[in-house]
Amino acid sequence: MEADFVIIGAGSAGCAMAYRLSESGSSVLVIEHGGTDAGPLIQMPAALSYPMNMARYDWGFRSEPEPHLGGRRLVVPRGKVIGGSSSINGMVYVRGHARDFDHWAESGAQGWAYADVLPYFKRMETWHDGGHGGDPDWRGTDGPLHVSRGPRNNPLHAAFVEAGRQAGYPLTGDYNGQQQEGFGPMEQTVWKGRRWSAANAYLRPALKRPNCDLIRALARRIIIENGRAVGVEVERGDGTEVIRARREVIVAASSINSPKLLMLSGIGPAAHLTEYGIEVIADRPGVGQNLQDHLEVYFQIASKQPVTLFRHWNLISKALIGAQWLFTKTGLGASNQFESAAFIRSDKGVEYPDIQYHFLPLAVRYDGQAAAEGHGFQAHTGPMRSPSRGEITLHSADPREAPKIVFNYMSTEQDWSDFRKCLRLTREIFAQPAFAPYLDHEIQPGADLQSDDDLDSFVRDHAESAYHPCGTCRMGAADDPGAVVDPEMRVIGVEGLRLADSSVFPRIPNGNLNGPTIMVGEKASDHILGRAPLARANEAPWIHPDWQNCQR
């Protein structure tokens, strides 16, 4: 078994690369350990809490006890299925802020500034504004990834945006356009009522071509001969075999599994590899380091009007919604229900937003457990640029064993002060007149938690991952000892090996990571094929004109 390109992982970046590389006429083999994404639990947007909590679709990772969160072990869902995490995520679509990508370029990822990546964001999407305004000039019209907006029929969506305006924040018609900062509609990777995962957008069309194939197998290690990657050793059925790459091996196995695979293949911190008896092929101390994530809390309010989605939180309603979706792909089942959003700055002197809000007209946990209070609504919120860094290391040299994951959340004083600010600003937004007809009382944190200590202990006990791990094989200059890949996605120190997924992010971008991860796969494809990158964009993003002196 061999192909020009062997891609490890059919996730957000892997699917995009399979599509673009096979489109060029090259032969492509994609290796994926997970199974099919067929069936309503994955394809129905409103069912999003199910696949994320199913062993069938999830790798089942957990963090080590987190020292600053009272020793809690947090779940780290990663998609083990066709489409990867784009098949089990919340389908929220965010590009990231222009300044995030400028920061990448400044930190050594040359050619990845916003002007460089905006053309790829446009190339990958077909944007549907749904009549809600937006910035068509900034958006794509004929890419494989459909991006749409929910209907926003629930009155609470409008209340949230109006409350933001009343609190003095700007409104934005398109946070993925010129202006991220402000309150407005949220976007989702949903098309014709179905989850529009990387599998639906990219992999299915690619697999229709005669030169693209998918193999279900577990990648054990990359085969490197004389300093060059020549294939992948996989476990399939009862045996192991080698799939050979005529041109290149491409790793796209996630920010958790990509560093693990490099280490098992002899690429990583030499002392750590030697500890497990792994022969060192390239001593790259940055492999597995620089782990980042977004931490968030669910700020929940009890509603005094029965307008929330709680009225559908019963078996009969769920069955009716499911049936309507199955037959017509319409109704409540056709949206992820995250239909209003906000990005704000926590303080003056912060140049661009560092707090995100996902608004939901229901008080519920990510694992699908409804709040005991009944009718309620919530905002998922947290700071977006934590200075804390964690790491991925090996537990053993056995490819079947999960790696050791330590996020090291909340390890700096700044994390705590940023989170307190975030909670107090959120409280103020919910206290605006727009919410007066609906707000009964605060379920959590709870109005009695006012002091710094109260808020700190709430975060310690209740903060959850937003499931945005990244950064563990960061991109940088070829002579940067901490970098793992160069700006063309080549793994430094090994020929014929590239890596492209969320692990290459030098720093976590604003918002949800599916969009930027697909963009990395799109842009990496041009580098792999030796094509000139798309022409840089000239659009100038909006930055608050007086950000140095005002917070809103």
What's the rounded Cα separation, in Å, for the pair 236 and 214?
13
The shares of helix, strand and coil residues in the chain, as percent rounded to the nearest 5, are 30, 25, 45
The closest alpha carbon to 504, from 529, 482, 485, belongs to 485
What's the rounded Cα separation, in Å, for the pair 13 and 503?
11
What's the rounded Cα separation, in Å, for the pair 128 and 78?
28
What's the rounded Cα separation, in Å, for the pair 523 and 531?
10
- Residue 90 labeled ligand binder: yes
Distance of CA 377 to the CA centre of its chain: 23
Contact (CB, 8 A) for 543 and 172: no
Burial class (CB in 10 A: 0-12, 13-18, 19+), 141: exposed
Contact (CB, 8 A) for 101 and 113: yes
Q: Which of 375, 380, 468, 544 is catalytic?
A: 468
- Residue 182 labeled ligand binder: no
What b/e string do you get for 372-384 counting C-beta neighbours within 10 Å, with b at 16 or more?
ebebbbbbbbbbb
Residue 362 CB-half CA count within 13 A: 17
The closest alpha carbon to 215, from 398, 42, 35, belongs to 35
Count the Cβ atoms, other than its own, within 10 Å of residue 427: 17
Q: Output the DSSP codes for 217-247.
A: -EEEEEEEETTEEEEEEEEETTEEEEEEEEE
Element (H, E) at 300: strand 295-303
Residue 119 CB-half CA count within 13 A: 14
- Residue 81 labeled ligand binder: yes
Q: Residue 220 has which token pair?
A: 């054990």
- Residue 91 labeled ligand binder: yes
- The answer to whether 468 is a known catalytic residue is yes
Contact (CB, 8 A) for 357 and 382: no
Annotated binding site: 81, 89-92
Annotated binding site for FAD: 81, 89-92
Residues with active-site annotation: 468
